[in-house]
Structure 1
Amino acid sequence: MSHTLFLGLGRMGAPMARLHAEAFETHVFDVFPDAVSAVVEGSSARPVADLVSEGADVDVVILMLPTSRHVEDALTGEGALLERLPAGSLVIDMGSSEPGSTRSLAAAAGERGVDYVDAPVSGGIAKAETGELTIMAGGTDDAVARAMPHLETVGNSIVHVGPAGAGHAAKALNNLVSATNIAAATEAVLIAKHFGIEPAAMIEVLNASTGMSQATQVKFPQHILPGTYASKFAYDLMLKDMGIARRMADEVGFAPVTGAAFDTLSEGRSALGEHADHTEIARVYTRTTGISIDEGHAR
């Protein structure tokens, strides 16, 4: 009996797999057996011990893996899952992969009669748990239409942004803007404090004015000003996405803001701890200037 194979059960993948299993027969796999057990317990998902026997009965593969290298390894590397999928199957990559790799994999899938859609997500763990993610889909019209029922199990805002690779491009650019907004707002708040304006007051001004952004509305009041820095999106994953956007920008030839933001936040990474949250962008500035803006002060 055909089924969906869901690979990657991390912080985002686990709740997404549970929701998908409510609508479709879903078999789940992760390199960490405990992650598989945690998803299977209390859900309709079925465990997969290894990928060697998977393929013939799979009609849809959903990947929620950390990088393009992991996706390539699963599909064309030692596991070579793509070679074992029957013609007419559908692959949906929902992680944050590199657009160039995605285009190559989509072409290889097409040669085998397999549809390929890149459908990265935005919204964080909270929206992954409620099925309210924003999804940026790349692929042919027919492939995205086939993927839509699966995407709708985890997202409530789904935009078909273009051909294969376009979804991953859009995700990287979104995260570039998100990180740059945090950095710009942090600079404004630091300068404001130097001139006698309290951080909370400056954020209130920005949120009532044209400087408003998701950074000022959510990241500052919930994570930066209280000093909790607990958005659960890693600084290193943010840098990975910004790096993808930076390489895309290099092809355009003129994107000075992109370059400055990426270089500043990359250089500031060494000032943070091992498992830094991406909202700790504010700490990079605090440690450089000595001006604290969170309630816990610089650490």
Structure 2
Amino acid sequence: MFSLRSASLLVPSARRASTRSAVAHSRLSSTVAKARGLTLPSFSMQNKVCLVTGAARGLGNEFCRAFVESGCTSLAIVDLKEEEAKRAADELKAEFEGNGHIDKGSLNIMGIACDVSSEVSVQKAFKEATTEFGRIDSVVASAGIVENYSAFDYPFDRIKRLYDINVHGAFFTAREAARRMIPDGGGSIVLVASMSAQVVNVPQPQTPYNASKAAVRHMASSLAVEWAKKNVRVNTLSPGYMLTKLTRTILEHDQELKRTWEALTPMGRMGDPEDLKGAVIFLASDASKFVTGSEVRVDGGYCVI
């Protein structure tokens, strides 16, 4: 039988529940407010030593910017010519320390000369970087070239050079990185391939390039399995058509080609190099600590259709 007394007992209980709910909501709102403008700590590159090949310009240089923007203060910019690598390092340091967001003298960015097609040169570059920083946590193998010749007209010496840089260079870089990461407990290696590893680009002829990037993609998968229990992760980043400074210069004289590439891309545009920042940070950081042997395509949907 429902009594006045039992009904009166329910009121304080309901009030307490309502109060607890209000407090919980207040705490949640406070937590959300504090989290605004922040991201998951696992995406941070703070206290990590990073090395990027082919980094004096183009996509490699964009990856370096992404690392610094994500908290990296120890970075090796590796490229073919020492002068260009050091200049890129100085420019990057001056830009970030000069914008007021990073204290002057807090960035240690070094430029290193390296011909990635030479195993000895790659070994020397890694020795120089580890001598300076003591270890290497994240490596991006971004050095690569592309040329457009028909299969019948492609000179053999240029085919060999392309494979030496794109394939052998990626392998030498990954191997030297792993040799240093394993004793230190692991690390992340990102091999830059291309959507060309999966599709045949048109209308430009580039068979050796496409094959080289397919080799890089499978190389990453194979190394990922080989080094998985050593806590060295190896993944592939595959860009689509990107509007780098070089590409912009080329397309200025061939607007029809630009329109063709845009029309073939479901998103209707070419990518901006900045579109790759999130993907490379994900793969290089602890945010992807259970991801290895994977490929992240950033191609505006090109490979979907």
Flag the structure with more relative contact order, 1 or 2, with Cα contacts below 8 A and sequence separation at least 6: 2
Same fold (TM over 0.5): no
TM-score (norm 2): 0.31
The higher radius of gyration belongs to 2
